[in-house]
Every structure is written in structure tokens, then in C-alpha cells.
Amino acid sequence: MGCRGAGRARAGVRRLGLLLAAALVAAGGILYVLETEPAWYARLRYPLRYEQIVVGHAKNYRLAAPLLAAVIYQESKFDPNAKSAQGAIGLMQLLPGTAEGIASRTGGARFVVADLYDPELNVRYGAWYLRHLLDKYGDERTALAAYNAGQGQVDEWRSNGEGIVFAETRAYVARVERLKRIYARAYASELAVG
């Protein structure tokens, strides 16, 4: 191989080394962002919609607005048209029977299932229900477990002296608590945190 060939080979090795170094730096940067979740990244990954509705009903029902936002994100990712296989509807994924009971307890004159697709009504009912669960159980983890698994299930676990039995419900509670911290940090000014 001549001088030119050796020079090209060294230049190719240098370019490959620079590309590898750049890839490592980029991978490190991505890993850092994923691990630390800075506010700008959290805002991209975890959007906040209907903030006036969320803040208004959080205040009205004495809830932390980041908690309410976290439940909504976990339940529907802020999609007002979300519907589960079990028939839960809207932002806070309320079952029609549960929502009808809430409507009658909160002075609703006529409940129709279509109301659950209205973000304002859905969040109002869901916030009332979350406050009811917090008042009933006295702690956030148990209230969230009841929101996910149902009051009857949680009451049975408690009467048997058990914690949260379902792995899915434990994961739900942990996820909502993590999302609450993320929403509190990323949307501190919007959610009146601090």
C-alpha cells in the first residue's frame, strides 16, 4: 500500500473514531435526559391539557392539582374520548354507574352517559370521586388503589389485613405517584405548586 492508501486508511480510522465518539456523547446525553427528566423533556413527554379545568376542580375538591393531572394522564393521557374495554369513559375513565351516583350526590338533575365525554363534567365527577376516596381511606395510596381496583376490592383487602394485593394496582399507584411528582415539577406555575 502506498503513502496515499495509508493516509486514506488513517483518515478513515479517524473519521470512524470521531463518529463513534459523537455517538457515545449523543447516547450519554439521551440517557441523561431519560434518567433526570428535566422539565422541558417532561413537558414534551407528559402534556398538560385542560389546565383551567384541572386547577379549578382541584381547588374546589381540595386536591393537589398535580395529583389530579397525574390521574388524568394515567387514565386517558388527556384524551376526552377515551373509552376502556370495561366501559370507563373520558379523561378520568369513569364507569357510567359510578358517574351517575356522583351526579345524584352532587346535585345533578339528569345524568346521561354522553356527559362523560365532556372534559369539564368528567373532571368534576372524577375530582369529587377522588376526594371521596381520600376522605374515606385517609391516605393517597389507598385512595388511588380504590380508584383503580374499586372500593369493594380495597375494603376486602383491608378487612383481611392485606395491603394492595393486585400487582397491577400496585403498579398503577406507583405510576400515579411518580406522575404527580413529574407534573408538580414540570408544571409548577400552571398547577400553582410551590
Catalytic annotation, pick one of 37, 51, 75, 177: 75
Cα–chain-centroid distance for residue 42? 11
Write the DSSP symbol of residue 115: G
Write the DSSP symbol of residue 153: H
75 is catalytic: yes
Tracing cell 394485593 back to the chain, one arrives at: 165
Amino acid at 176: V
Read off φ and ψ for residue 136, nearest 5 degrees: -65, -45
Count of alpha carbons within 13 angstroms of residue 141, beta-carbon side: 7
| CA 131/CA 21 separation, integer angstroms | 52
Count of alpha carbons within 13 angstroms of residue 3, beta-carbon side: 0
Are the C-beta atoms of residues 139 and 110 closer than 8 Å to each other? no
93-122 burial, b if ≥16 CB within 10 A, otherwise e?
bbeeebbbebbeeeebeebeeebbeebebb
- Which residues are marked as active site? 75
